Amino acid sequence: MPDTLTLPRLDDLHVHLRQDALAAQVAPLTWTGGAGRVLVMPNLRPALTTVEAVLAYRAALQAIEPRLDYLMSICLHPGLDRSAVRAAAAAGIRVLKWYPHGVTTNSSLTGSLSECAEACAAAQDEGLIVSLHGEAPDDPAQGIDRMNAEQAFLPQLVALHQRFPRLRIIFEHATSAAAISTLADLGPTVAATITPHHLLLTADDWQTDPHSYCKPVAKTAADRAALQAVVASGDPRYFLGSDSAPHPAAAKAGNQPAAGIFTAPILAPLLADIFDTLGCLDQLPAFATTRGAAFYDLPPAQGRISLQRRPSRIPAQINGLIPLRAGHDLKWTLGACKE
């Protein structure tokens, strides 16, 4: 087993960098954690619904942390028409991101996926990616709760793919065995991101620790095993999207903590630890650098990082933000980063 691992800076194709003072903390920490290119999510306040707003946000991020390469997304909602999608493509925006109403942080826009058909058709023609937060809203009458909300959404994924077979779709943060088996039957235009925390956690964790709580929630040990198996298998349609989603400590306290797990500052050593434990360290470079780039049609990742097999302690807090597994040790350390 190697004691040193050198790889390109990571492509983290699902991050929440936040805005204003919080972004000023989070963007530099994202670089420090080993990422080089990031797909930035649009669930700000207010949500990013116009090309102008996305470009202004990108400029603000570049001013904060110019070393990161920012790939941008815009909210997919029924008001996004064909000409807006064309304008987004012309501006270099890569992803239309759809959130189901009210299921997660700042998901206040309304509109079902079928109401977004014009934008999806345009995205298919323009080569943009549609990226889905795939959860059905909680509905006690239908027996839909946090544990089965992803499974309940899967028919909508299948329907979207059948209607737009050439449209590139990313099923973000897959968490369930049901999602993995549904994806197995879909074509090569449908991919999924997997987060480090869903390879690590189960429902036992978030029920007792708000810093392990995110949407979609970590599920059963069998679900986690399905995610681990697909990552170890080398399936090219699965790649890294950390869904690192920091919240101020106060928002994570109390009975109803905000959903979101903060991993950006520890991303590379956390992934090395997880892949090492799973016995599939050889899959890490493809998972975190080449497969996502291939699906997104990006040039090879730039820069190098180097990881050493020696313990590193996850800080108890970083500028008041609490990372996953704060205070615990990882088996790997991220060495001095080359630019």
CB closest to Zn ion, residue no: 243
Site for ligand NCD in 259-318 (CB under 6 A): 259-260
What are the backbone angles phi and psi of residue 39, rounded to the nearest 5°? Answer: -95, 115
Under 8 Å between Cβ of 214 and 243: yes
Given the structure tokens 């987004």, which residue do they identify? 88
Exactly one of 19, 62, 104, 189 binds ligand NCD (CB under 6 A); which one? 104
**245 lines the binding site for ligand NCD (CB under 6 A):** yes
Distances (CA, A) of 76 to 51, 111, 158, 238: 12, 9, 18, 22
Nearer to ligand NCD, 196 or 260 (CB): 260
Nearer to Zn ion, 150 or 243 (CB): 243
What are the backbone angles phi and psi of residue 285, rounded to the nearest 5°? Answer: -60, -40
Binding mask 188-207 for ligand NCD (x = CB under 6 A): --------------------
Q: Rounded distance, CA 139 to CA 321, Å?
A: 32
Tokens (6 digits) for 292: 């996502």
- Binding footprint of Zn ion on the chain (CB under 5 A): 243
**105 lines the binding site for ligand NCD (CB under 6 A):** yes
Q: From the list ligand NCD, Zn ion, none, pick the one residue 128 interacts with, judged by a Cβ distance below 5 to 8 Å according to partner type.
A: none
Any idea what DSSP says for residue 182? H
Q: Rounded distance, CA 279 to CA 277, Å?
A: 5
- Beta bridge pairs of residue 144: 139
Site for ligand NCD in 110-139 (CB under 6 A): 133
Output the smallest distance, CB 267 to ligand NCD, in A: 15
Output the smallest distance, CB 79 to ligand NCD, in A: 21
Nearer to ligand NCD, 105 or 289 (CB): 105
Q: Rounded distance, CA 28 to CA 153, Å?
A: 35
Output the smallest distance, CB 166 to Zn ion, in A: 25
Q: Rounded distance, CA 157 to CA 168, Å?
A: 12
Output the smallest distance, CB 105 to ligand NCD, in A: 3
Interface with ligand NCD by CB under 6 A: which residues? 16, 43, 104-105, 133, 214-215, 243, 245, 259-260
